[in-house]
C-alpha cells in the first residue's frame, strides 16, 4: 500500500464546519466565562459522547465501545482487514476548561471523515476516530485513563474501582451514563495514530509558526516532599537556634528552579503545591509539605535532575536543623514519537505552505500511551498566549483549519487512496 502523499494536494477541509462543530460541542457544559466544564463520566460527558456518536454515524461510521468507555468510530477501507489509520483525543475537560483542549483532536478527526465523504474518497485502509476516556484526570485518577488501559499501563479492574471525592466509582459511573462497553480493552494493530492538539504553551505563537511538528513528549518525575523542623514562638526564639521548615523549603524551591535552568532548553521544574504547618503568623513553621514536578526530553537528563534534587535535599538536611522525606509518586519516561510519522506531518505542513517547526510536548497526552503500542505522531497549533486548562483558552480559526488540513493529508498518506 502506498504511504506517500496522493495527487490530491489541493484537498482541503471545511474550516467553518469544523469551527461550528467545536462551538456546538462547547455548549455542552458551557461556563459563564466562555469556557467548558464537562468532567469525565458526568451527565454532561454523556451528552458530549452522544453528540460525537451521532456525528460519527452520520459520517458513515460504525461504533464500538470498550470496557473503559473508549469510543471508536470506524470508517471502512477498501481492504477492511488492514490495520486502521487512527486519530482522536478526548472530550472531558478541567473544571475551568476551554473549548479546544482535546476536543479539537476529536472533531478534527470527524472533519477529516466528512471531507473524504464530500469528495467521495475511499481509503485503502480503514480510518478510525477515537474518544479516549478521562484524559484530564480531574475527577478520577489516574490521568489518561482510557488510553492507559488500551496501552496496558493500567488494568481494567484497577481503573474501574477508582472513586471520585464523593466515593462514586469509574465502573458505576460508566454504567450510569451508558458507556460501559463490551469490546475488549486490549490494544489491537494500528498502522498509524495521529493526534491534533493545541500546543498548550507559548512557543508557536511567539515564533509566529502555524504547525508544531511534535517529535515526542517530555518525561516526568513527580515527588512529594515533607520537611520537618520544630514549631516555636517567633519572638523569643533566636534566629540561629530555629528549626524552620519553611526556610529549608524556600532554599529547596530556589534550587529546584535552578535545576531546570541547568538543563535548558527542554527541562522543566515546578513546585506547584505547598502546605505550611501550623500556618500561624507568629509561629516558626514546623512542617512543610510540597510537590516537585521535574520534566525533560531524555531519561538521562531526567535522571540527572533527580540526582541534583536529592543532593539539594541532602544539603538542607546536612545542617542538622530539619529532616526531609522525599518520595517519587509519578514517573513517565520521555516518549519519542515515530520518526516516519513525524516526517509525514512535517511533509504535510511543507506541502501546504504552512510555517512549521519541530517541537517537544511539555504536557502529557493520550498519544504518549499510544506511542507504546503503535507508531504515533502529534500535530500542534498555536493557542492564544499559550494558555490552556483555563476558560479563556482560545485559538484562531485559520490555525484550527490548518492543523486539520495537515491531519487530513497525513492520514491519507498513511491509509492510501483506493482506486475508483
Report pLDDT digits (tens) over 266-294: 999 999 999 999 999 999 999 999 999 99
Under the banding of pLDDT at 50, 70 and 90, the label for residue 330 is: confident
Percent above pLDDT 90 for the chain: 95
* Domain co-membership, 104 together with 248: no
Cβ atoms within 10 Å, residue 407:
23
C-alpha distances (whole Å) from 60 to each of 51, 75, 90, 117 are 14, 7, 21, 9
Of 332, 361, 394, the residue at which a domain comes to its end is 332
273, with CB counted inside 10 A (0-12, 13-18, 19+), is: exposed
* C-beta of residue 104 within 8 angstroms of C-beta of residue 61: no
* Domain co-membership, 383 together with 306: no
* Domain co-membership, 204 together with 241: no
Distance CA 241, CA 244 (A): 9
Q: Is residue 296 part of a domain?
A: yes
Which residues are CB-contacts of 359 (< 8 A; sequence separation ≥ 6)?
A: 199, 203, 204, 212, 213, 214, 215, 380
- Per-residue pLDDT, averaged over 181-195, amounts to 98
* C-beta of residue 174 within 8 angstroms of C-beta of residue 180: yes
274, with CB counted inside 10 A (0-12, 13-18, 19+), is: middle
Number of domains in the chain: 2
Percent above pLDDT 70 for the chain: 98
* C-beta of residue 113 within 8 angstroms of C-beta of residue 71: no
pLDDT per residue over 90-99, tens digit each? 999 999 999 9
pLDDT computed for residue 329 by the predictor: 87
- Per-residue pLDDT, averaged over 382-390, amounts to 96
pLDDT per residue over 154-179, tens digit each? 999 999 999 999 999 999 999 999 99
* C-beta of residue 229 within 8 angstroms of C-beta of residue 248: yes
- Per-residue pLDDT, averaged over 364-370, amounts to 96
Give the CATH number of the domain where residue 210 resides: 3.40.630.10
* Domain co-membership, 322 together with 391: no
pLDDT per residue over 209-227, tens digit each? 999 999 999 999 999 999 9
Of 332, 365, 385, the residue at which a domain comes to its end is 332
Which among 119, 195, 184, 155 has a CA at the least distance from the CA of 375? Answer: 195
* C-beta of residue 57 within 8 angstroms of C-beta of residue 153: no
Q: Is residue 7 part of a domain?
A: no
Distance CA 247, CA 188 (A): 52
Tracing cell 484497577 back to the chain, one arrives at 158
Of 313, 332, 351, the residue at which a domain comes to its end is 332
Give the CATH number of the domain where residue 282 resides: 3.30.70.360
The answer on pLDDT for 1 being more than 70 is: no
Distance CA 19, CA 398 (A): 10
C-alpha cell at 47: 451528552
Under the banding of pLDDT at 50, 70 and 90, the label for residue 332 is: confident
The answer on pLDDT for 369 being more than 50 is: yes
The answer on pLDDT for 10 being more than 90 is: no
Under the banding of pLDDT at 50, 70 and 90, the label for residue 5 is: low
* Domain co-membership, 21 together with 70: yes
* Domain co-membership, 62 together with 164: yes
Residue range(s) defining the domain that contains residue 271: 219-332
Under the banding of pLDDT at 50, 70 and 90, the label for residue 4 is: low
* Domain co-membership, 115 together with 256: no
Under the banding of pLDDT at 50, 70 and 90, the label for residue 420 is: low
C-alpha distances (whole Å) from 238 to each of 246, 249, 282 are 16, 19, 14
* Domain co-membership, 143 together with 32: yes
Q: Is residue 286 part of a domain?
A: yes
The answer on pLDDT for 2 being more than 50 is: no
Residues belonging to the chain: 420
pLDDT computed for residue 36 by the predictor: 98
pLDDT computed for residue 6 by the predictor: 59
Amino acid at each position: 500500500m502506498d504511504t506517500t502523499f496522493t495527487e490530491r494536494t489541493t484537498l482541503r477541509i471545511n474550516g467553518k464546519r469544523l469551527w461550528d462543530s467545536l462551538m456546538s460541542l462547547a455548549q455542552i457544559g458551557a461556563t459563564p466565562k466562555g469556557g467548558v466544564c464537562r468532567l469525565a463520566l458526568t451527565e454532561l460527558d454523556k451528552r458530549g459522547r452522544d453528540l460525537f456518536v451521532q456525528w460519527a454515524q452520520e459520517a458513515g461510521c460504525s461504533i464500538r465501545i470498550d470496557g473503559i468507555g473508549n469510543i471508536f468510530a470506524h470508517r471502512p477501507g477498501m481492504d477492511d482487514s488492514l490495520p486502521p489509520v487512527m486519530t482522536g483525543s478526548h472530550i472531558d475537560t478541567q473544571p475551568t476548561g476551554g473549548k479546544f483542549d482535546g476536543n479539537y483532536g476529536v472533531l478534527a478527526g470527524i472533519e477529516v471523515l466528512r471531507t473524504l465523504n464530500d469528495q467521495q474518497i475511499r481509503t485503502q485502509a480503514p480510518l478510525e476516530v477515537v474518544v479516549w476516556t478521562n484524559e484530564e484526570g480531574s475527577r478520577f485518577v489516574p490521568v489518561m485513563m482510557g488510553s492507559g488501559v488500551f496501552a496496558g499501563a493500567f488494568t481494567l479492574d484497577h481503573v474501574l474501582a477508582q472513586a471520585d471525592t464523593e466515593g462514586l466509582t469509574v465502573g458505576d459511573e460508566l454504567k450510569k451514563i451508558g458507556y460501559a462497553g463490551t469490546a475488549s480493552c486490549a490494544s489491537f494493530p494500528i498502522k498509524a495514530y495521529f493526534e491534533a492538539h493545541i500546543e498548550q504553551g507559548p512557543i508557536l505563537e511567539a515564533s509566529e509558526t502555524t504547525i508544531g511538528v511534535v517529535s515526542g513528549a517530555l518525561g516526568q518525575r513527580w515527588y512529594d516532599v515533607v520537611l520537618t523542623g520544630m514549631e516555636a514562638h517567633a519572638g523569643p526564639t533566636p534566629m540561629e537556634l530555629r528549626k524552620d521548615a519553611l526556610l529549608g523549603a524556600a532554599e529547596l524551591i530556589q534550587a529546584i528552579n535552578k535545576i531546570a535552568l541547568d538543563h535548558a532548553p527542554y527541562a522543566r521544574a515546578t513546585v506547584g503545591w505547598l502546605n505550611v504547618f501550623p500556618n500561624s503568623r507568629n509561629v516558626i513553621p514546623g512542617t512543610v509539605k510540597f510537590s516537585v514536578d521535574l520534566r525533560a526530553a531524555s531519561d538521562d537528563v531526567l535522571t540527572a535532575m533527580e540526582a541534583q534534587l536529592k543532593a539539594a535535599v541532602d544539603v538542607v538536611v546536612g545542617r542538622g536543623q530539619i529532616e526531609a522525606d522525599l518520595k517519587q509518586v509519578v514517573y513517565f519516561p520521555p516518549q519519542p514519537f515515530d520518526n516516519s510519522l513525524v516526517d509525514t506531518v512535517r511533509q504535510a505542513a511543507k506541502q501546504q505552505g504552512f510555517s512549521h517547526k519541530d517541537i517537544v510536548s511539555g504536557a502529557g497526552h493520550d498519544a504518549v500511551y499510544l506511542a507504546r503500542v503503535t507508531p504515533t505522531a502529534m500535530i500542534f497549533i498555536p493557542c492564544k498566549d499559550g494558555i490552556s486548562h483555563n476558560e479563556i483558552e482560545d485559538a484562531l480559526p485559520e490555525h484550527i483549519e490548518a492543523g486539520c488540513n495537515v491531519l487530513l493529508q497525513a492520514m491519507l498518506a498513511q491509509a492510501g487512496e483506493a482506486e475508483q
